[in-house]
Amino acid sequence: MDLQTQMKHAVAQAAVDKIQNGMVLGLGSGSTAALMIEALAQKIKSGVIKDVVGVTTSFQGEVLAAELGIPLKSLSSVSQIDLAIDGADEVDSSFQLIKGGGACHVQEKLVAALAKKFIVVVDSTKIVERLNLDFKLPVEVLPSAWKQVKKTLEDLGGVGQLRMAQKKAGPIVTDQGNLILDLTFQNGIDQPEQLESQINNIPGVLENGLFVNLTDEVLVGKVENEVVVVESLSKI
């Protein structure tokens, strides 16, 4: 197993160790969240964790959790989530995030916003000083509006690229049936809070991947003296 996968496994396990019996859980998406779902399923199967129910954030998570026998509820049938655990594409020192690498950020943000506690699980490659210098900011848009939104985003300084599918001609289509514009700002993102609202105010935009003031804890997997360890970061 390569080092990055070992780091992902370690943070996934560390997050699952924080789950208590009876909790309503938000189950994130992506490769790290998938490892967390697998680790949770093992603990349920062995009887270490009891009476939990999961709310998934994507088709991927729903299929995986159901196959592994994790009891699930829909988002609309719960009034509160006790703990949500999810991955991220970039995390800065104030715990602001870029998410949406798997185009699941609409449901992920809904679940994170409903959660009493939101834990982000990442490997050390995801920690950045400034958002969007390396990873593009995903914006989910209504298919009929993508060109208009792309043009309006340019007025905000963002250059958008329609995310193209692999093994399918044309763009990727989200779980909600929409398209993704991946945005680059020349000098990265200066004021995530302001930008998040500005983008979401554009007609035709469903949601963008900036997760601002939602994260309570970041668990990061890193390598120290050739050993994989997990650190709980301190917010600056």
- Note whether 86 binds ligand 5RP by CB under 6 A: yes
Residue 26, interface with ligand 5RP (CB under 6 A)?
A: no
**CB-CB contact of 108 with 180 (8 Å):** no
The residue written with tokens 């994790």 in the block is: 70
Q: Which segment (84-92, 178-186, 189-197, 219-227) binds ligand 5RP by CB under 6 A?
A: 84-92
DSSP run (H or E) holding 33: helix 31-45
Active site residue 196: no
Shortest distance, position 21 Cβ to ligand 5RP, whole Å:
26
99 among annotated binding-site residues:
yes
Q: What are the b/e assignments for 151-188, b being 16+ CB within 10 Å?
A: ebbeeeebebeebeeeeeeebeebbeebbbbbbbbeeb
The alpha carbon of 122 is separated from its chain's Cα centroid by a whole number of angstroms, namely 10
Our CB check for ligand 5RP shows the closer of 19 and 104 to be 104
User: For residues 104-123, which are near ligand 5RP according to CB under 6 A?
Assistant: 104-105, 108
User: Phi and psi at residue 123, in whole multiples of 5°?
Assistant: -90, 170
Contact residues for 63 (Cβ-Cβ < 8 A; gap 6+)? none
Question: Which one of residues 31, 42, 94, 124 is an interface residue with ligand 5RP (CB under 6 A)?
Answer: 31
Cα–Cα separations (whole angstroms), residue 98 to 21, 164, 177 = 30, 19, 21
* Nearest approach, Cβ of residue 88 and ligand 5RP (Å): 6
Distance of closest approach, residue 22 Cβ to ligand 5RP, in angstroms: 25
Q: Is 208 in the site for ligand 5RP (CB under 6 A)?
A: no
Return the active site residues.
108
Q: Which residues bind ligand 5RP (CB under 6 A)?
A: 28-33, 86-89, 99-105, 108
